[in-house]
Amino acid sequence: MVLEDLIRTERIRFFGRTFWSPKYSAFFFNWTGSGFELEFYGDRLLAEFMVLSDFYPTEGNNLPWIAIFADGKQISVIGLEEGRKQYTLYQGKKGLHHLRVVKRSEAVKGSVGLCGIEVQGQLEKLSESKKKWNLEFVGDSITCGFGIETDERGNIFHTSLEDGLSSYASICANLLDAEYHSICVSGIPLCQSYREDFCLKLPEYPDFKVPRRAMEECYPYTDYYFQKSNQDTDFPEKWDFKRFVPDAIIVNLGTNDAFRVKASGFDTKEEEYFERRYEEFLKLLRRYNGTSPLILCTLGSMDYYLYDNIIRAVEHYKKSYDDDNIYYMKFGGIYVQEEGMGALDHPGLKTHRRMGEQLANVLKAYLM
């Protein structure tokens, strides 16, 4: 059976913002926490993946990492190789098995598409599973689980050190028995500078231009940066928001915007521009998701410089549009002595656990 037939006959289910690529003849699942699941009767299952790397000067060629869950337990983690190759996902006891494949690493640091499935046995129709809530997380490297797999603060980034499945977002979703989407990119701000000529540079790589990315730019699309950079389609595909209707949208943006403000010499126009764009982003969330989802605007746990700006933007929006279903909260900071740190001063696993628990308690109070 081809993939389209497997999806139509409910032999396989994709989750997250996924899409079919005619250029690569593969079903891509690039976002953190996205993937697919299936059920089969047999003792071995293989999958063919199409893998593309992403280059960054300080990191080299980034490749994606996936986690394999069989019958509810994680059985392996695989670092995928460039190109079109086949991998054994399960080999073990013959019987009925539920397999779930989830991307641990983030969208712009290695892409992966499923080309086909080979099973020694037969695929079964998926049994229905309904979670209690649908949550959508919109964020940056913190939401990606950047550097969570190391306790060496000076460690440079590598996708092997990233695990979105151990991030506060995943922990929170598991605590609330929720299905979730993570729309997150390391280094991404909510908006770009008000100055078109403003560009962050890497001193050791003077000829390299840091990509100008912004969440307000990519949020409406299924996978804006992949489809744009790989010329996969004539135009990046708009996400069909009916495919996943969140009960709550959790925004954790502003850390990288604060970095830009500080790099500009604390230009007050940058702060004012961020505040205006944050309010516009709230309008964008409502435009695509409607008024039903709760929106929780968060910040942390690395930098809080723009938190007061976020509060002002939220309060002004609520008053202007009579929208009382929007809230804000600040994550606790990183307690280095007790919790350690991840790579490049990012929160480590212990901090993420605390953040996930804090967020779950807040959402529980609002959603119940």
CA angle at 354 for the pair 324 and 31, rounded to the nearest 5°: 75
Rounded CA separation 121/165 (Å): 30
Phi first, then psi: give them for residue 86, nearest 5 degrees: -105, 140
Q: 18 CB contacts (<8 Å, ≥6 apart)?
A: 27, 28, 29, 34, 36, 222
Name residues of the chain where pLDDT drops below 50.
none
Chain centroid to Cα 342, Å, comes to 18
Q: First and final CA of the chain: distance in angstroms?
A: 43
pLDDT tens for 48-84 read 999 999 877 677 789 999 999 999 999 999 999 999 9
The pLDDT of residue 205? 62
Task: Give the three-class secondary structure for 219.
Answer: coil
CA angle at 346 for the pair 344 and 350, rounded to the nearest 5°: 135
Q: Domains, the chain, ranges and CATH?
A: 3-124 (2.60.120.260), 133-367 (3.40.50.1110)
The pLDDT of residue 5? 76
